Amino acid sequence: MTENPLDDPFYYLNNFMQVLDWLEHRYGDVLSVEEQGFVQDFRRQPRESRALLVRMVMRKGVHFRAGKLSYLEIGDIARAAEPLLAAGWIDEHSPLPIEELFDVLLKAEILQCFGTVIEQPKGKKSDWLPSLSEQLCDAQSFSQWCPQLDDRLFTLTIMGLCDRLRLMFFGNLYQDWSEFVLADLGIFTYEKVEFCAESRGLRCREDVDACVFLHQCQQRFEAGEAVADIVEQINALELSNPWLQRRRGKLLFQIGQHCERLADFSTALTIYRDCAYPGARVRLIRVLERCGEYQLAMDLATHAEQTPESAAEHQHLLRVLPRLRRKLGGPAMKRPAPRDMQRLDLQLPRVDPALSVEYYVQAHLAQDSAPVHYVENSLINSLFGLLCWPAIFAPLPGAFFHPFQRGPVDLLNEDFHARRAGLFEACLAELDDGRYVQTLRERYVAKWGVQSPFVFWGALSQELLDQALDCLPPEHLKHWFNRLLMDIKANRAGMPDLIQFWPQDKTYRMIEVKGPGDRLQDNQLRWLEFCHEHQMPIAVCYVQWSEQSA
C-alpha cells in the first residue's frame, strides 16, 4: 500500500507547492519577475500562513471574514495571516463596493449596519441592494462600512497572479486547484501520457499575457461593457500563436452575435468581416441580407459556395441562396425534394410529462428480442474512442503537458488527424480483419473510467457494448469513424437518439425521435444523409401525444 497524499491535512498546500515547483522548473523563462518573486517568497513563509493563503485562493471570491476562516490544521488565523499581510498578498483595508460587502455580511448584520436606511426590513436581502447601492455608491474598507462589527476582513491581492499560475500549469482557466484532490480521490482518472519538460501549453510570456487579456475582455463583454472599446482592443492584439488567434476569433464571433441581437448591424458587419471563426461568414451573409444588401449578400454567398469552409456552411448556403435569388427578383425556385428517409409516426399517451419523448419511444419500440438504447452521440463516439485510444493519446510533441488532460490539446485543430494519420490508420485497420472486437472488449476493461474526449463511460454498459459489437457491421463503424475524423468538432454530435438491436439477426437500426414542435437540426440532417448514402438503417420517428381523457 502506497502512502495516500490525502492523509496529510496540508494536502492542498502540497499540491499548490507542487505546481510552483513545476512552473519554476518548466516555465522559468515564461514567469514574470513578479511571479518568480512570489514563488520564492512563498516558500519562506510559515507553513500555516502558506496553507491559509492557499485555502483563500481555492475559495470563491477575494474577500474573507476572519471569522469564516476556520481550519484545524492552521489553528490561529490572525497569527497565520500576519506574514501574508506583511508580504502584501492579503490586505485588511481594501475598499470594497457595497455589492461585494453584501456577499460577506449576514442578513442580520446588514440590518445592524444599515437598518436605518432600509425600507422593508422583512424583505429579501437581494431586494435591499439596488436602493442601497444608489445611496452608498463609494467603496470603503470593511471597518469603515461596519465599525460596529467585531471582525476583520482579509482581501486577496494576488488572485490575478494565482490565476496566471493556474493558466500556465493547466493551459486553460477552466480547470482549478481541486483537480489534484479529485484525482487523488479517484473521482477523475486521466490517461498517463509521457511528455518531456519542454512540453508546455503556453510557450512564451506574450502568449500568457494575451490569453489573460482575452479572458478579461470576455468577462468585460459578459458584464455588459460597451463592445466598441473591447473590439478595438482585441483587434489591436498582435497574436502569433494560431491557438490564440482562434480564441480571439471565437470571442469576436460571440460579440458579433450579441450585436446582431441588439440589431446593431453595422458593428456586427465590421466584426464578421475580419473574423475567420467558423460560421462567421454565414453570419456576415445573414446580416447583409437583414440590412437589405441583397447583392452583396449574394456575391459573398456565391463565393462561399465555391469554397465552403465546412459541410455545415454548404448546407446553410443551400437555404440562403434561393432566398437571396428571390429577393433579387429572380424566379421562384422549386425546393429540392426532401430525401425519402424511413419515417415512423407514433401516437403515444403522455402519462408522465416529466419523462422525455425519447423515453416513451424507447419503451414503445423495445422488445425482449430487440432492446432499444437511448444513446445519442455516446455510442459511436465511445466505440471510436476505444478503438482509436492509442492514436488519441499518442505522445506527440506538445500534445500533452500536464497530468490532468482529458485529451490532446490539439484535438480540435485542423491538422489533428493528419499529424496522427498512420496511427489512426493502424487502429481502423482492425476493422478490416475482425481484430477490433477483441481490442474493444479488452480496452473497455483496461481503460474503464479513464477520462477521454470520446468515451462516455456512464452510457456504455457491458451489455450495450456486447450488443453493439454483435450487431454493428465493421464497415459501418469504419464509415462513422472516418466521418468523425474528417471534422471532429462538427461530426461528434447530431447522431440519432435511439438505437435498436436484433442480436439474433445481427441487425440494428437508428431512430431519431421528434416530438411535437421539434424538428431535425442541421447536424442531425447531415448524419441522416450520410447514413442514408451508405445504406445504413435509420429512421425518424415523429411523435404526437394522444388525447388524455381525464
Candidate list 22, 71, 213, 545; residue touching DNA; CB under 7 A: 71
Rounded Cα distance, 513 and 277, in Å: 31
- What are the angstrom distances between the C-alpha of 410 and each of 102, 289, 401, 451? 43, 36, 12, 16
User: Which residue's entry shows cell 425519402?
Assistant: 340
The pattern of x and - marking residues 451 through 470 that bind DNA according to CB under 7 A reads -------x------------
Q: Which is nearer to DNA, 287 or 431 (CB)?
A: 287
**CB-CB contact of 375 with 527 (8 Å):** no
User: Minimal distance in Å, beta carbon 68 to DNA?
Assistant: 8
188 lies in the binding site for DNA (CB under 7 A): yes
User: Is residue 80 a contact partner of residue 46, using CB atoms and an 8 Å limit?
Assistant: yes
Report the partner that residue 181 touches, choosing among Mn ion, DNA, none (CB closer than 5 to 8 A by kind): DNA
Dihedral sign, CA of 103, 106, 109, 114? positive
How far is the C-alpha of 490 from the C-alpha of 416, rounded, in Å?
Answer: 14
Among 43, 47, 107, 273, binds DNA (CB under 7 A): 107
Choosing among Mn ion, DNA, none, which partner's interface includes residue 107 (Cβ < 5 to 8 Å by kind)?
DNA
**Residues ≥6 apart with Cβ < 8 Å to 252:** 231, 234, 235, 271, 274, 275, 277, 280
Q: Of 150-158, 322-330, 429-437, 503-511, which segment contacts DNA by CB under 7 A? A: 322-330
Q: Which of 223, 332, 337, 550 binds DNA (CB under 7 A)?
A: 332
Is residue 187 near DNA by the rule CB under 7 A? yes
Pairing of strands 498-502, 90-91: unpaired
Choosing from 79, 125, 273, 303, the residue that interacts with DNA (CB under 7 A) is: 125
Among the listed residues 439, 437, 441, 435, the one whose alpha carbon sits nearest the alpha carbon of residue 462: 441
End-to-end CA distance of the chain: give it in Å, rounded.
63
| CB 437 to DNA: min, Å | 27
Restricting to residues 497-526, which ones interact with DNA according to CB under 7 A?
497, 512-513, 515, 517-519, 521, 523-524
Distance separating alpha carbons of residues 297 and 7, to the nearest angstrom: 65
The residue among 260 and 497 lying less far from Mn ion, judged by its C-beta, is: 497
- The backbone region for 527, taken as left when phi is positive above 0, alpha when psi lies in -120 to 50, beta otherwise, is alpha
Examine residue 412 and tell whether it contacts DNA (CB under 7 A): yes
Question: Of Mn ion, DNA, none, which one sits near residue 174, judging by CB under 5 to 8 A according to partner kind?
Answer: DNA
Residues numbered 463-502 forming contacts with Mn ion, rule: CB under 5 A: 497
12/38 with CB nearer DNA: 12
Number of neighbouring beta carbons within 10 Å of residue 142: 24
| Cα distance between residue 254 and residue 278, in whole Å | 12
State yes or no: residue 60 binds DNA (CB under 7 A): yes
DSSP-based three-state secondary structure for 502: strand
Task: Write out the residues near DNA by the rule CB under 7 A.
Answer: 6, 9, 11-12, 55, 58-61, 71, 106-108, 124-126, 172, 174-175, 178, 181-182, 185, 187-188, 257, 260-261, 286, 290, 316, 319-320, 323, 326-327, 332, 335, 356-358, 376-377, 412, 458, 489, 492-495, 497, 512-513, 515, 517-519, 521, 523-524
Task: Write out the residues near Mn ion by the rule CB under 5 A.
Answer: 497, 513
